[in-house]
Structure 1
Amino acid sequence: MKRKSLIALLLAATVAATSMLPADALAAPTSTKTKKTKKPAKKAAAPASDYYTGEFVNYNQWKEVQQFAGDMVAKHGFSRAELDSLFSNVRYLDSVVQLVKPAPPGKPKNWSVYSSRFIEPIRVNAGVRFWNENADALARAEALYGVPAETLVGLIGVETIYGRDTGRFRVVDTLTTLAFAYPLAPNREARMAFFRDELEATLLYARQAGIDPLSLQGSFAGAVGMPQFMPSNILKYAVDFDGDGRIDLRNSAADAIGSVAAFLVGHGWHREQPGALVYPATVSPSRAWETYLTGGLEAKFRPEDLTAAGVVTTSPLPPGMLYGLVDLQNGSEPTEYWVASNNFYAITQYNRSYFYAMSVVELGRAVRLSRGAN
């Protein structure tokens, strides 16, 4: 199979599972954008047929890998022999290298096309089932963290269709490849440092959880489980929400729900915030409002400032809060404008994209309405 065909196949297979990554993953900021069950203490590596296999390279002969292994021994007390054994089984994934390369310039961004991938019957129906099956965990998370069930349902649905598409790349293969063989790019050194940190976090998490690091599967960027947490975020934000004594984002819907809520709170979600996440808006022809599109992924403008610049919402904004202006480009069609609250921007810290955060909002709303109608 030609390389282009292979890459297209892999991308199609993982696009739902890796539709978006946490805030510190690949994307740069842009304005357009249960039941408790006993689980085994240790899991064996997945059979080769269950994940994308790569090319054998002797990573133990790579100077940078040797230095990384030495740091893991010195900083965290890992066994050098165990690390050498691990890296002798790690594979180089050229498909991952191709997938992280920037996409060539193409058509203008199109919110309608983008959102149609996520707000569609299969995902909505799956969301209704997920909500019904995990109503207790969702209610507990909402009470504990203040994050509404529909936001949690929307986010997990956008990420992996509720665990259906969590990725078939071995995380250690992916992260080792990107940590030491990232493709040429202006930000190559920074990206390699990021993925080395994630590889370090993977090994720490695997040791802490008592699992074989080679058993972890995820996206082409190393994100894991139903919520597609990068390994460092597993260490920082993942919680044992089903109370079985261990954190399992791959198999426990309750752990995924609680962990997403904890992540959002850790990135600025305010439980006491009144009103909606976003408000439809119109903008004046004067274009004085354009300066408010450069405010970054943060709510920092007063309602009266937006009004003075020609931004008008279809319903009143709750007073005493700060907001931001969001633009959703629609290809050749008119751009949509929304005024966003602080909690909307907390979602953008999961993935730094307006398109992503709005998809979470719209999918959660669609699931809630469908569930209510049924």
Structure 2
Amino acid sequence: MPMKTLITSLLLSAAILSPASHAAVDPYGYKLPPSMQKKKKVVPPKKKGPPPVDYVGEFVNFGDWKEVREFLDDVAARDGFDRAELNTLMAQVRFVDAAVQLVKPAPPGKPKNWQAYSRLTVEPVRIDGGVKFWNENVDALNRAEALYGVPAEILVGIIGVETVYGRNTGRFRVVDALATLAFSYPEAPQRRDRMAFFRGELESTLLFARQSGIDPLSLKGSFAGAIGMPQFMPSSLMKYAVDFDGDGKIDLLGSSGDAIGSVAAFLVAHGWQREQGGPLVYAAAVSPSREWEPMIKQGLVATYRTAELSAAGVTTTVPVPEQQSYGLVDLQNGAEPTEYWLANANFFAITQYNRSYFYAMSVVELGRAVRLARGGM
């Protein structure tokens, strides 16, 4: 065997037998330097996310359900609908289990955290989108502010928190979601009341569709049946929505003007007071005596004068208008200290849109952030 062939054979044997034989080698068995080694691509394990949402649902023949038939009889008699047409409609309605799952309350145990909540709602995408929305709809916002007395920043804040200015208006067929929740609401202490509520919303949907001359199955919205940029439930749409752009129809999905005017009209109908100018909330401090604690549980209303609050150990760092009434709001922060605020009647009007201190405060904060981003003071 030639000497060169023998050396090559020995080198190959050594490479195969040596502990380093799993390292990269060239055709002659030499270990390649690190710079020439082909690095193995590390693929991180896939994270398991939530299952995709089933927006379409399944056919279950709602028309066979006794409660559905009774509901349709009542609606036909009360509202003058053709019963056969209602049967045809219900034959196309689908059961959406995703709506049932999404309407269930979050499991207990996790403490409320305002700071975490606000990071999800008062964030760059909504602030930047709010500036664009305000600039594009400045005339409608100014007109709504003049007519209803609701500042533009509050209107922008609500539409931004609800749907990011129309980006996320919902992908469920409204009739499917409402029928599912009206007749198959999950087990809960107020199940019967909730089912009655959604039956009323289903009836309102049918009335709105007939009034507007549209197919009720064409309406899309949230898993709970809320519609359009401001996410109005169908009964609120019937009561408070306005044709603010003057085109002869109400369109909360495609018309920013209608959305703006309708939100303002809703707030006025639920207690917004034009004369209460200035801030809606004032940062507060509470005394260790906790004499103020019963004030937290007085409901979503402004009932206390500043003298009563002061006597109970509630103070503010800045003067507040003494002619107004206030409620004491607590914003819990998990393990961190709770924030306390004095809120006037207009703050509580926002809670009628969504019955949550967190929601109302996020509207206030987002609107303020958008105003400042536009260069407002």
TM-score of the aligned structures, taking structure 1 as reference length: 0.86
Q: Is 1:310 paired with 2:313?
A: yes
Match of 2:155? 152
Following the alignment from structure 1 to structure 2, what is the Cα–Cα distance between the partners of residues 8 and 352? 29
Give 1:73 shift: 1.2
8 A contact 2:55–2:98 mirrored in 1:
no
Match of 2:361? 358
Following the alignment from structure 2 to structure 1, what is the Cα–Cα distance between the partners of residues 50 and 85? 33
Match of 2:202? 199
Q: Is 1:210 paired with 2:196?
A: no
SS at match of 1:221: coil
Following the alignment from structure 1 to structure 2, what is the Cα–Cα distance between the partners of residues 256 and 77? 29
**Counterpart of 1:275 in structure 2: which amino acid?**
G
SS at match of 2:188: coil
Greater relative CO, 1 or 2 (CA 8 Å, sep 6+): 1
Match of 1:57? 60
Match of 1:182? 185
SS at match of 2:331: strand
In the alignment, which of 128, 131, 135 is matched to residue 128 of structure 1? 131
CA RMSD of aligned residues (A): 1.4
Question: What fraction of aligned residue pairs are identical, expressed as a percent?
Answer: 69
Structure 1 residues 1-12: aligned runs within 5 Å: 9-10=52-53
8 A contact 1:7–1:95 mirrored in 2:
no
For residues 313-347 of structure 1, the C-alpha deviation after alignment (integer angstroms, 9 at most, x for no partner) is 12111122110000000011110000000000000
Give 1:140 shift: 0.4
8 A contact 1:7–1:98 mirrored in 2:
no
Give 1:71 shift: 1.1
Following the alignment from structure 1 to structure 2, what is the Cα–Cα distance between the partners of residues 373 and 141? 18
**Counterpart of 2:269 in structure 1: which amino acid?**
G
8 A contact 1:274–1:318 mirrored in 2:
no
8 A contact 2:178–2:224 mirrored in 1:
yes
**Counterpart of 2:354 in structure 1: which amino acid?**
N
Structure 1 residues 85-100: aligned runs within 5 Å: 85-100=88-103
Following the alignment from structure 1 to structure 2, what is the Cα–Cα distance between the partners of residues 113 and 184? 29
**Counterpart of 1:222 in structure 2: which amino acid?**
G
Runs of 4+ in 1 over 3 A off after TM superposition: 5-10
For residues 205-259 of structure 1, the C-alpha deviation after alignment (integer angstroms, 9 at most, x for no partner) is 0000111100111111110000000000000000000000000001000000000
Structure 1 residues 258-277: aligned runs within 5 Å: 258-277=261-280
Greater shift in the superposed pair: 63-72 or 231-240: 63-72
**Unmatched segments (≥5 aa) in structure 2:** 1-47
Following the alignment from structure 1 to structure 2, what is the Cα–Cα distance between the partners of residues 82 and 355? 43
Match of 1:33? none
**Counterpart of 2:285 in structure 1: which amino acid?**
T
In the alignment, which of 222, 231, 235 is matched to residue 228 of structure 1? 231
CA change 1:7–1:78 in 2 (3 A) is farther
Q: Is 1:369 paired with 2:375?
A: no
Greater shift in the superposed pair: 84-93 or 313-322: 313-322
For the pair shown, which has the larger CA radius of gyration, 1 or 2? Answer: 2
Structure 1 residues 46-125: aligned runs within 5 Å: 52-125=55-128
8 A contact 1:178–1:192 mirrored in 2:
yes
Following the alignment from structure 1 to structure 2, what is the Cα–Cα distance between the partners of residues 103 and 112? 18
TM-score of the aligned structures, taking structure 2 as reference length: 0.86
CA change 1:279–1:348 in 2 (3 A) is same
CA change 1:319–1:373 in 2 (3 A) is closer
8 A contact 1:275–1:318 mirrored in 2:
no
Q: Is 1:165 paired with 2:168?
A: yes
For residues 239-287 of structure 1, the C-alpha deviation after alignment (integer angstroms, 9 at most, x for no partner) is 0000000000010000000000000000000001132100001111111
Give 1:63 shift: 0.9
Give 1:115 shift: 0.4
Following the alignment from structure 2 to structure 1, what is the Cα–Cα distance between the partners of residues 141 and 317? 30
Following the alignment from structure 1 to structure 2, what is the Cα–Cα distance between the partners of residues 128 and 353? 25
**Unmatched segments (≥5 aa) in structure 1:** 11-50
Match of 1:329? 332
